[in-house]
Amino acid sequence: MLTYKVQLYPNKQQKAKLVEQLDSCRKLYNKLLEECRKAREKGEKITQNTTQSFIVELKNDSMPELKEVYSKVLQMINYTLWVNIKSLSKLKKNGCKIGHLRFKGKGWYKTINYNQSGFKIDEHKNKITFSKIGTINCRGLNNRVRKNKIKGIILKRTQTGRWFANIQIENTPLVLPKTNKNVGIDVGVSSFIVDSDGRRVENPKNIDKQLTKIKVKQQTLSRKKKGSKNWLKAKVQLAKLLAQVTNQRKDFLHKVSRFYVETYDFICVEDLNITALSQKGNKNSKRSRTLHRNILDASWGQFFNYLSYKAANANKKVVKVHPKDTTQECSRCGRIVKKDLSTRIHLCLYCNLELDRDYNASINILKRGTGCTSILVENRSLITITASAIVSGQVFSMNQETPSFK
């Protein structure tokens, strides 16, 4: 199942309705939880069906406001509650020390879950109609939503009061032609990644610029009196900026991973869970643990996730190899050539191979992943691909054969 996120633009009345319904949902959740607790205290058996039937009683009795909420949405609250109860008792069985499920305070209930029914999408007009709410304008509906079977929509309110629809679509396999090509990808130090076909994908240039902006906003926030009107305003601005940065990064990562899945059948990467990241980062001393670095670390992990699920969906393969010495090893003769992080070139004392250090590593990764030792290694100039070229889609029309020279 894939989730596709679009922003909703409810009008004033719809907004009020949404907020009201959200609070009704919260109250119902708390009420059902309370009933479960009471039953437990009395030693009575209570099931998902019992609480389900409560909902009907509550509607006709003490909580008439529930009539304003789509019935399937109410069912999903009960469902969610029981998912929580079950996962909690599972944790307890496994010996984890945990408390009770908590009641949700005002503002702590954030989703309205339309499962299977109660919604209608008009992708041509960018509108979604929700039963008991109305037709809400949105932005970003496209082919992907149209072509796929929609399983449900979860309406979500952000901290800043914006509304999003998470559209859940059935995963249809991607049909891509086989290319019979393999590639090794190394996560770079000065660039985002370098691959064994000689591409150097640059880091998005705007990271630093945006980080400066974020820092300024964070400082502004810290100077305001907590809880004040200006504090709240600064908080909203900061959240908006962070969301913007996250979206841009995701877009970049989606496009890079798509490019590799379309171009190759067999993709080899380092297993980041082992040591690679700490090895790559630590030696950079103070600078290494900056916010910039943290974001990059997170990006690589996310990139490999995207790569894995896209590959699985297109019947292609991603292999994770052990990262030990991928940088130190000579990709031609296999001897270890020690180098620290500042050495950008791999220069082998034994076989005279001279290569970009990350390019050398990417070939080692390819060798480990494919088990193929007879890869012809020669010096070549790397082709630099900027993040903006990827984001704008130019990279898809790029000639996939990169030139090599001796």
Binding site for Zn ion (CB under 5 A): 330, 332-333, 348, 350-351, 353
| Nearer to Zn ion (CB atom), residue 242 or residue 347 | 347
Angle among Cα 75, 79, 83 to the nearest 5 degrees reads 170
Rounded to the nearest whole angstrom, what is the least distance from the CB of residue 144 to Zn ion in the complex? 47
Of residues 83 and 336, the one with the C-beta less far from Zn ion: 336
Matching residue, tokens 């149209």: 146
Please state the closest distance from residue 364 (CB atom) to Zn ion, in A: 11
Provide, rounded to whole angstroms, the least separation between the CB of residue 321 and Zn ion.
Answer: 19
Residue closest to 12 by CA, chosen among 187, 136, 172: 136
387 Cβ partners below 8 Å, 6+ apart?
192, 201, 202, 203, 204, 205, 252
Ordered strands of the 266-270 beta sheet:
317-321, 266-270, 182-187, 193-195, 199-201, 383-385
Query: Which of 347/398 has CB closer to Zn ion?
Result: 347
What's the min distance (Å) between Cβ of 337 and Zn ion? 7
Which residues pair with residue 230 across a beta bridge? none
Query: For the CA atoms of 205, 208, 212, 217, what is the dihedral angle to 10 degrees?
Result: 80
> Shortest gap between Cβ of 329 and Zn ion (angstroms)?
9
Nearer to Zn ion, 39 or 333 (CB): 333
Smallest gap, in angstroms, from Cβ of residue 333 to Zn ion?
3
In terms of DSSP bridges, do strands 317-321 and 266-270 run parallel, antiparallel, or are they unpaired? Answer: parallel
Q: Please say which residue, 257 or 326, places its beta carbon nearer to Zn ion.
A: 326
Give the nearer residue to Zn ion in terms of CB position, either 333 or 375. Answer: 333
Minimum distance of Zn ion from residue 183's CB (angstroms) = 22
Report the distance separating Cα 199 and Cα 389, nearest Å.
13
Closer residue to Zn ion in complex, CB, 234/337? 337
Alpha helices, DSSP H, located in 134-289: 143-147, 206-223, 229-263, 277-282, 285-288
How many beta carbons lie within 10 A of that of residue 382, not counting itself? 17
Structure tokens at 51: 């609480």
> Which residues lie closer than 8 Å to 3 by C-beta, 6 or more apart?
166, 167, 168, 169
